[in-house]
Structures are given as C-alpha cells and as structure tokens.
Amino acid sequence: MNKQQLFEQIQLKKSFLCIGLDPVLEKLPKHLLKYEDPILEFNKQLIDATHDLCVAYKPNTAFYESRGVKGWETLVKTWQHIPKDQFTIADAKRGDIGNTSAMYAEAFFNEESSAMSFDSITVAPYMGKDSVSPFLNHPNKWVILLALTSNPGSQDFQTQQSNEQLLYEQVIKTSATWANSDQLMYVVGATKAQEFENIRRLAPDHFLLVPGVGAQGGDLAAVCKYGLNKQCGLLINAARSIIYASSGEDFAEAARAEALALQQEMEQLLKAAQLL
C-alpha cells in the first residue's frame, strides 16, 4: 500500500487507528481455549469485529515467537486473515548487517518465501544505513524506524546529546537521506506529546506510528495538535485497551466498542483539521 492509498483509507474510514495484535494465552477469554489455536481464533474475531474502524493492524512478533513453531504458524495465519485494504505492520524491531537484513525482508515481505507479506516492518536504527536499505529495496514496502519510543529506556540513549542535537533527532535527519516519506515512517511514543512539534519540523511529510495511547497513558488530542499533517501523517496504535476490553464471551463486541470510541474521536479530529 502506498502513501496516497493509505490516506484514502484514512478518509474512507474516518480513522487513523492501528490495532496492536499482541495476544497472551493467559489473558484470553476462557471459552476460546477449546479451539485448536485459541490465539488465532482470538485474532480472527478481533479483526472481524473491528476492521471497518481501523486502517492498520500491527502484530508484535515477540508474542508469536514466544510460542515457538506453533506461534509462528499463528502469525502467518493471522496475517492471512487481515483484509487486503488494511495497512499491515510487522512489529519486529529488526535490523542487522546488509545481507542479514535482506533475509529479514524475505521473512516479512516475500510471500513466496515465508507465506507472509506485510506492508511494513519496524526497524531499529543502531546499525545504520545498510541495515535499513535492504527493506527499502522492496517496492511499495515500508520501513518504520524507531525514533523516540514510549518506554522509560528511551531516556538512556535516544534523548542524549549527539553532535549538538538529540540522538533521536539525528536518527530522523540522517535516515531521511536514505528514503523519502513514501517508504519511511517513524515510531514516536505518545507519552512525548510535547516533542511532536519538534519532530514535525524534522519530518513534516512522514507518517508517524504512535504507540502509547491508551494503556501507556498518551493523550490523542495532544498528539494530533502537533502531529497531524496534510495527509493525516499519524497511525495511532492501541492494543491492550482494545483487545482486552472484556475477558468474557463478549470480548469482540467490547473491542469493537473501544475501537469505535477511538474512531469517533479521530473523526472529530480529522474534521477539525479539515482532512475530511
């Protein structure tokens, strides 16, 4: 999916919601345990109940890898169940030397190799340009580079001084020379709303993937005040607040209600910004 198509989906659905599919077996509604693959059933019902309210789904690969081979099977089948009008994000935080990143690109972008072809993958910037470029060699695929994350550890390096700027600022400036906003997005944590104004100066046209709204405490209106651009430019991720909205048999309906509340808030914010 290219940038214009993503913006069209945002306008069509009046939403820039991304739903994080990060399931843990112990937290699943008990009635799902009778299925052969309870996590897959959980994901399928969540997707079926919410796909008209969101524009993206983001499985975090750790939650699947933790279950070994059967978890990887669940990830493949989850990807296969996501409707084709959704922007799909493999939240994998990968990155290695060039020939190895090329293999990760096969893993997440090449359906013939791995039975999955996500639109995008999250990548860690520490190893620099040649760790990122192999992903960009795939046409119409995206790198979502970690810039400023929402966790406490973001203070350890990302916000330290680097060449008279902060490291995350340097990551944005340097990586913007590797690809333009048609293939590159940034991860920016919503717990840092005051930083969005600064980030928009460095990356006015890029989409930003924003985790941390909901369970992690971010404020949607504050993020939008500084983060919206002329093609929306934001994908707001919510995971736990939606997928665990209820632990009962009504979990999918409850997830839909949470997603609907966010979609309605987003619709108002898009209208106020004259993007609808």
Count the alpha carbons within 13 Å of 17 in the hemisphere toward its beta carbon. 30
Q: State the Cα–Cα distance between residues 238 and 17, nearest whole angstrom.
A: 7
Question: What's the min distance (Å) between Cβ of 106 and a copy of itself?
Answer: 4
Taking the CA atoms of 103, 105, 111 and 112 in sequence, report the sign of the dihedral they define.
negative
Residues 169-198 that bind a copy of itself (CB under 8 A): 170-171, 174
Given the residues 14, 58, 84, 93, select the one marked as catalytic: 93
Please name the residues in contact with 272: beta carbons below 8 A apart, sequence gap of 6 or more.
Answer: none
Question: What's the min distance (Å) between Cβ of 146 and a copy of itself?
Answer: 6
Residues 69-88 that bind a copy of itself (CB under 8 A): 69, 71-73, 76
| Smaller CB separation from a copy of itself, 35 or 126 | 126
| Smaller CB separation from a copy of itself, 12 or 97 | 97
Element (H, E) at 143: strand 142-148
Q: Is residue 216 a contact partner of residue 22, using CB atoms and an 8 Å limit?
A: no
| Smaller CB separation from a copy of itself, 124 or 260 | 124
Q: State the Cα–Cα distance between residues 129 and 200, nearest whole angstrom.
A: 22
| Smaller CB separation from a copy of itself, 60 or 88 | 60
236: contact with a copy of itself by CB under 8 A: no
116: contact with a copy of itself by CB under 8 A: yes
Residues 124-163 that bind a copy of itself (CB under 8 A): 124-132, 146, 149-158, 160-163
Q: Supply φ then ψ for residue 18, to 5 degrees.
A: -115, 130
65: contact with a copy of itself by CB under 8 A: yes
Give yes or no: 93 in active site: yes
| Smaller CB separation from a copy of itself, 150 or 231 | 150
| Smaller CB separation from a copy of itself, 113 or 140 | 113
Please name the residues in contact with 48: beta carbons below 8 A apart, sequence gap of 6 or more.
Answer: 252
3-class DSSP assignment, residue 68: helix
Q: What token pair was written down for 133?
A: 């470029």
3-class DSSP assignment, residue 22: coil
How many residues make contact with a copy of itself (CB under 8 A)?
59
Q: Is residue 241 a contact partner of residue 216, using CB atoms and an 8 Å limit?
A: no
3-class DSSP assignment, residue 188: strand
95: contact with a copy of itself by CB under 8 A: yes
263: contact with a copy of itself by CB under 8 A: no
> Strand pairing of 87-94 and 208-210?
unpaired
Question: What's the min distance (Å) between Cβ of 195 and a copy of itself?
Answer: 16
Residues that bind a copy of itself (CB under 8 A): 22, 24, 60, 62-63, 65-69, 71-73, 76, 93-98, 100-101, 103-104, 106-107, 110, 113-116, 124-132, 146, 149-158, 160-163, 167, 170-171, 174
Question: Would you please indicate which residues are annotated as catalytic (active-site) residues?
Answer: 93
